[in-house]
Amino acid sequence: KLGVLDKLARVYWYTVEFGLIRQPDGLRIYGAGIASSRTESVFALEDASPNRIGFDLERVMRTNYRIDDFQETYFVVDSLDQLLELATIDFGPLYERIAGQPALEPRDVLSTDRVLHRGTGRYHDARRLEK
């Protein structure tokens, strides 16, 4: 009814399922979808192909995701506190602020993104050629 379920689903997808967290010794997995797949775990942390972008809630809410393959972009929280803070946010004003803005594709990198790693896109480019 409110047209916001897709935006909330994106937050879930890029945190609970496919989230990364920055630690002093490097990136770590906290998303269950990554943790349940050894190959995606290696891909998410070590492969040059995906983007790794600092978590920005509005950005995440606008970003489509893949359900059929490895992610093209992983969003990285800086701390567990940043992640837990999501539970305290009033999403109403956020929904209003991003209403009417176009959805972003999983591979998009914006000039305003805090890019931790700009992916080569090699993996997904090869997959597109296979189709």
CATH of the domain at 119: 1.10.800.10
Span 25-65, pLDDT tens digits: 999 999 999 999 999 999 999 999 999 999 999 999 999 99
Residue 13: domain span: 5-130
Q: State the first-to-last Cα distance of the chain, in angstroms, to the nearest integer.
A: 36
Starting at the edge strand that comes first in sequence, how are the strands of the sheet with 115-117 ordered? 26-29, 20-23, 73-77, 51-54, 115-117
pTM for the whole structure: 0.94
Nearest to 77 by CA among 98, 59, 97: 59
Query: Into how many domains does the chain fold?
Result: 1
Span 80-113, pLDDT tens digits: 999 999 999 999 999 999 998 999 999 999 999 9
